[in-house]
Structure 1
Amino acid sequence: MGKHVRILFFLFLLMAAGMMMPFFSSAQSDDATVHFVPVEQTVESGLEAFLDRSITEATEEGTDHIVLEIDTPGGAVDAAGNIAEIIQNAEVPITAYVTDDALSAGAYIALNADNIVMVPDAQMGSAAVVDGSGNTAGNKAQSVWVSEMETAAQSSDHDRDPEYAKAMADPEEPLTMNAEQALDVGYAEEIVTDREEVLAFLGLQGADQVESEVSLAEQLTRWVTNPMIIPILLTVGGVGLLMELFTPGFGLPGLVGLGSLGLFFFGHLFAGFAGMEAIILLILGLILIGVEIVFTGFGIFGLMGLGSIIGSIFMASFDTTQILFSVFIAMVVIVIATILLFKYFGKIGFMQKLVLQNASEAAEDGNETVTDDAFIGQIGRSLTPLRPSGLMVLAGEHYDVVTDGVYVEADRDVQVISVSGPRIVVRAAK
């Protein structure tokens, strides 16, 4: 009888242990944490910097799992490649949770994760390589990208059929799969409707959910490192500094120009692409431009300053081809702006107040144009800064003058040293 009692008691303990298992499992999940990281909008270098920071912080905090919530139309291939490397080197498992679209570079990012789960109406694929104009990339770039997609499909333990990844990268008719199709061919492990089902799939029910949020600085970085925004910033910066050469003092055009360049360098510095050497070269270039503005000579300081700024831009960039394209666009616009400023600036609207009228226009307003050598040696007063051109008053008349190359402040005595037709050359009086 004692033997049967012991057997029954042992079975009772087994049943009790089985009934308690869910509670132990729940307690274990309650202690677990899962970081949810958004992968949204265009894939670019700013997103790369954000994901690098988020995955590093999550790992340092001891998270049990990282979930990338993907909703992106794709973007830069080089940034996607760097993100894939970050995922592969992560010390914790990573799941791609496709909440809407994982297209192009987004599909590549998802394929590098340990698992892929999708909501019912999500889609993944359409990963053909295109250039900045929307045209299919060359055969060499396409071949490399197809190989990268196939490798990504086989990178996890799931050993996905690489033919589907190859079809996604087909430049003629790229494959796009919905959630059901992805599940059927092994490109998704589960179809889920919310985060709770994601956690259930991972066996981490009840785990603490930690949100990785994009900071204000990272949002700004993502914006200013966007390949579509960079040429705009460089163009506005260049034109702003150019207009400053046509206006007395330092005003709005210069502030706008410096602000645009500042945004470009801030974003690239924060993203980790620009080093201090690029910033130092930029500051040197701005100083040289300032010298050119204040002490106008033969343009050597301006050319050196321009070269320094362009050099700093290249040093701060993350993609030589992309920055070449951006600088080219900026230079074309700046050249056009220079021609227009020389031809029309000061002849229309409010711009008439920003620049000096030439000598013939001044004569039409009642001021004489000096052509007599008798004016040589006479002393007048500078009405505006002369750098080298500006306005002088002599014997109650206003004249457009130019210095012999040395900057003269406003309200200073100046002496006429030569006259050639309407051209009056002056220098500061001793």
Structure 2
Amino acid sequence: MPKTTILIVAILTVLIAIPLHAITVYAADVESQQVNGWLLWMTQPIVVTLLLCIASMGVVLQAFSPHFGFGGILSILALLFFYVIHMIAGYATWQSIFLLVLGVILLLLEVIVPGGIVGSLGFATIIISLLSSGTDTMHMAYAILTALIVLVLGMVIMMKFFGKKLNLFNKMVLNDSTDTEKGYVSNKNRIDLLGQEAITTTPLRPSGTAMLGEERIDVVSEGGYIDAHKKVTIIKVEGVRIVVRESHKD
């Protein structure tokens, strides 16, 4: 997992930082009044919503993929396009880029160190970054809400209709079952003791101890009181619970 984390963070940083740096250097010589109409159109709410929804769909695809692939790349490219356009237009800043990268790192740390707190901080940081990068805070809030709805619906569709399982949490959840078919035994079930006789060393009220040869065992009477130094017969073994019955009455 650490190698995957480093790879994703590196790709995200390179794809966002280097192009943005080159673009901002180029755009430094262009006055804000000369920004082309297409650039302003690309910052409109409907386009922003579409980009964030594409990023959400990429997250859904990546969440159900065992390795970093198409879904992750799709999300990165959608976010890259969003931040490039908004940085050229003068809305996004390097502070918002820093918040985005920080949020992604925190989300990746949540996979390594689960608990919920780190992941929640990462999610909140990404939301703040997006809100601070848009042309209008209210429009950005609606776009983010729409993208989150797409994210949730995508998750539900993948799990309910396609029967997919979240590979994202494979390292967070123990999937192996500790059953007897896989060689796990919670307590040794000593069925070989059935029918053997022992001598009580303490009164059974109804639990106590008895000697089986040279071995001291914990036993439980079938129901009634049995005095010490009485001969008992083992009639049932349930895990560590050994049930005995008095062999004879004095």
TM-score (normalised: structure 1): 0.31
Deviations 1:365-393 (A, max 9, x none): xxxx762284269xxxxxxxxxxxxxxxx
Q: Any stretches of 5+ residues in structure 2 without a counterpart?
A: 1-29, 171-176, 187-250
Does residue 131 of structure 2 align to residue 322 of structure 1?
A: no
| Structural mapping, 1:363-378, within 5 Å | 371-372=179-180, 374-375=183-184
Aligned to 2:34: 53
- Whether the aligned pair in 1 keeps the contact of 2:107 and 2:118 (CA below 8 Å) is yes
Does residue 79 of structure 2 align to residue 270 of structure 1?
A: no
- Of Structure 1 and Structure 2, which has the larger fraction of its residues in strand? 1
Aligned pairs, number: 150
Aligned to 2:54: 236
1:246 deviates by: 2.3
Query: Partners of 2:64 and 2:103 in 1: how far apart?
Result: 19
- The runs of at least 4 aligned residues of structure 1 exceeding 6 Å deviation read none
305-314 or 332-341, which deviates more = 332-341
- Whether the aligned pair in 1 keeps the contact of 2:96 and 2:133 (CA below 8 Å) is yes
Query: Partners of 1:282 and 1:321 in 2: how far apart?
Result: 19
Query: Partners of 1:331 and 1:320 in 2: how far apart?
Result: 16
Aligned to 2:72: 254
- Whether the aligned pair in 1 keeps the contact of 2:43 and 2:135 (CA below 8 Å) is no
1:269 deviates by: 0.8
Q: Assess, with a 3 A threshold, how the Cα gap between structure 1 residues 311 and 376 changes in structure 2: closer, same or farther.
A: farther
- Whether the aligned pair in 2 keeps the contact of 1:275 and 1:316 (CA below 8 Å) is yes
- Whether the aligned pair in 1 keeps the contact of 2:179 and 2:185 (CA below 8 Å) is no
| Structural mapping, 1:264-343, within 5 Å | 264-293=82-111, 295=112, 297-343=114-160
1:334 deviates by: 1.4
1:326 deviates by: 1.0
Q: Any stretches of 5+ residues in structure 1 without a counterpart?
A: 1-48, 55-213, 359-368, 378-430
Does residue 161 of structure 2 align to residue 344 of structure 1?
A: yes
- Whether the aligned pair in 2 keeps the contact of 1:224 and 1:263 (CA below 8 Å) is no
1:259 deviates by: 0.9
What is the alpha-carbon root mean square deviation over aligned residues?
3.3
- Aligned-pair identity in percent equals 28
Deviations 1:241-299 (A, max 9, x none): 24322221211001101111111111111110111111110110111222234x16233
1:303 deviates by: 2.2
**Greater RCO structure (CA 8 Å; 6+ sep):** 2
- Of Structure 1 and Structure 2, which has the larger fraction of its residues in helix? 2
Query: Partners of 2:31 and 2:51 in 1: how far apart?
Result: 22
- Whether the aligned pair in 1 keeps the contact of 2:83 and 2:92 (CA below 8 Å) is yes
| Structural mapping, 1:100-249, within 5 Å | 214=36, 219=38, 221-249=39-67
1:355 deviates by: 5.6
TM-score (normalised: structure 2): 0.51
